[in-house]
Amino acid sequence: MHELSLAMEVIELAQREADKNGVSRIREILIEVGDLSGVEADAFQSALELIVHGTILAEAELRISRTPGKGKCMKCNMEFEMNNRIDCCPKCLCLPSEISEGQEFRVLSMVVE
């Protein structure tokens, strides 16, 4: 379950940023999880909620923003939503030449006091 190690990294990142900026409390953290990132968003959120006690994020509202996958067809150039990395173009059934959205996993913002 790599979501647990990712949750630990987010806590460490939040602590480093808080220390660097002289912040004593984080009220909210917003994390973007792409549907094609390989991270199970619900498992990540559960892992984070389990291990935040006693950390800088203990009282923070944990918000997850999910980004759907989006690809561009290699044959007809149509952009289409993707639920899996191997989804084909709905128009011509070709594989995507690129995946433009949905691979993200990042901290978007933190609200501090």
Helix %, strand %, coil % of the chain (to 5): 25, 35, 40
- Quick check: 26 and 111 in contact, CB under 8 A? yes
Asked if pLDDT for residue 1 goes beyond 60, the answer is no
DSSP-based three-state secondary structure for 99: strand
Question: Mean pLDDT across the stretch 31-49?
Answer: 96
95 Cβ contact partners less than 8 Å away, ≥ 6 residues apart? 73, 74, 86, 88, 89
Asked if pLDDT for residue 6 goes beyond 80, the answer is yes
Domain 2-112 belongs in CATH node 3.40.50.970: no
Asked if pLDDT for residue 47 goes beyond 90, the answer is yes
- Quick check: 81 and 89 in contact, CB under 8 A? no
Asked if pLDDT for residue 85 goes beyond 60, the answer is yes
Q: Could you state, in order of their start, the residue ranges of all structural domains in the chain?
A: 2-112
- Quick check: 36 and 87 in contact, CB under 8 A? no
The type of residue at 6 is L
